[in-house]
Structure 1
Amino acid sequence: MREKIVHHAVEMFLNYGFKSVTMDDIANALGISKKTIYQHFDNKTKLVEATVMHVFEIISEGIDAICALGKNPIEEVYEIKQFVMTHLKDEKSSPQYQLQKYYPSISSNLKQKQFEVMQSCVKANLERGIAMGLYRPNINVEFISRIYFNSMIAIKDKDLFPLQYFSMNEIMEYFIEYHLRGICTSRGRDTLNQFINDQS
């Protein structure tokens, strides 16, 4: 039952937001009593934490699996983006923004875990891209990987990037192209242009 509650809560939180969804909403959707949920989770904060870590684990495992394929580094960046967006439902409800606002402790813990996963993945991508001649050899891998992570956090700020102007998918597309054009060699740019044309 615990897994079933988490699974349904993930769907509801991603679609409607952490703030909007109540324990009553989750109980009604599952056709169970609220008391049953409280047998597994002391309060909503504990349930939010469980759902956040559940999604984090799924995404981390997926990213690791994509990285293990050893694909072209440029293609890999886009494939990871697509995988993440699929699991976050295009972030229509701004879950990360709501998490930061209403559950700052959980948000802070998640950010640290995300950094550890992304830092390892992005650095490996950059180093492989340099070795293949797709990324400039003089880029500072440590600096670029940290800028990339922080920018990924920043573009989810709905005050900076309101959803009425950009969908999350558009913002991710714009940012990834911006990131890659800044680090690609001329050969890398040709590969990037070809990839973008093939996708359109």
Structure 2
Amino acid sequence: MKETILQKANEMYLNLGYKSVTMDDIAAELGISKKTIYQHFANKNELVEASTLDLFYKISAGIDSITEMGYDAIEEIFMIRNFLKKNLNNESTSPFYQLQKFFPKTFICLRARQFEKMHGCMICNLHKGIADGLYRQDIDIDFVSRIYFTGLTGIKDSDIFPSDAYEINTVTKQYLEYHIRAIATKKGLNILTKSLSKY
């Protein structure tokens, strides 16, 4: 039952927002009593924390699977992007804005985990891209990895990129192109052009 509650909570939080969804809403969707939820989670803060951690581990496992499939470095980035889009409600900014605003401790913990995971993945991606001649040899790998994370999280700031003017999927694709063009060789740019058309 605990796993079922986490799954439903994640689904509802991503669709409606962490603040908007109540324990009553989750209980009603599952057809159970609120008391049943409280048998597994003491309060909403605990459920939000557990659900974000559960989602993080599932996303991390999915990313690991993609990196083991043998894609070239550039296509790997686009494959991960598509996976995140599919599993994070098109990466809507609203739920995570609510998480940051109303559950700041959970948000800070999640952001630290996201950085650790993304930083490690990007460093591996950069090494692979350099080895295959897709990225320039002279790039500062640690710096590029950190700038990538900063940019990817920054474009989700609704104060800087308001949703009525910037559609998140379009902005993310533009950011990936911006990132790769900054570090790619001619060979890499050819693959980027194909990936932009494909994805």
TM range (shorter): over 0.9
**Change beyond 3 A, Cα 1:115–1:139:** same
Identity of aligned residues (%): 48
The answer (yes or no) to whether the contact 1:122–1:145 under 8 Å persists in 2 is yes
- The answer for the alignment partner of 1:39 in structure 2 is 39
Within 2, Cα distance between the matches of 1:76 and 1:187?
16
- The answer for the alignment partner of 1:157 in structure 2 is 157
* Structural mapping, 1:156-195, within 5 Å: 156-195=156-195
Aligned residue-pair number: 199
**Change beyond 3 A, Cα 1:159–1:63:** same
**Change beyond 3 A, Cα 1:198–1:84:** closer
**When the two structures are superposed, what TM-score results if normalisation uses the length of structure 2?**
0.96
* Structural mapping, 1:90-169, within 5 Å: 90-92=90-92, 94-169=94-169
Alpha-carbon shift at residue 103 of structure 1 (Å): 0.7
Within 2, Cα distance between the matches of 1:171 and 1:62?
23
- The answer for the alignment partner of 1:58 in structure 2 is 58
Question: Matched residue of 1:133: which SS?
Answer: coil
- The answer for the alignment partner of 2:25 in structure 1 is 25
Cα deviation code 1:50-89 (max 9, x no counterpart) = 1101110111001111111221101000000000111101
2:82 matches 1:86: no
> Which stretches in structure 1 are left out of the alignment for 5+ residues?
none
The answer (yes or no) to whether the contact 2:135–2:184 under 8 Å persists in 1 is yes
Question: Matched residue of 2:42: which SS?
Answer: coil
Within 2, Cα distance between the matches of 1:98 and 1:54?
18
Alpha-carbon shift at residue 93 of structure 1 (Å): 5.8
- The answer for the alignment partner of 1:72 in structure 2 is 72
- Report the RMSD for the aligned CA atoms in angstroms: 1.2
> Which stretches in structure 2 are left out of the alignment for 5+ residues?
none
Question: Matched residue of 1:94: which SS?
Answer: helix
Within 2, Cα distance between the matches of 1:88 and 1:61?
14
Alpha-carbon shift at residue 197 of structure 1 (Å): 2.7
**When the two structures are superposed, what TM-score results if normalisation uses the length of structure 1?**
0.95
Which stretches of structure 1, 4 residues or longer, exceed 4 Å deviation after superposition?
none
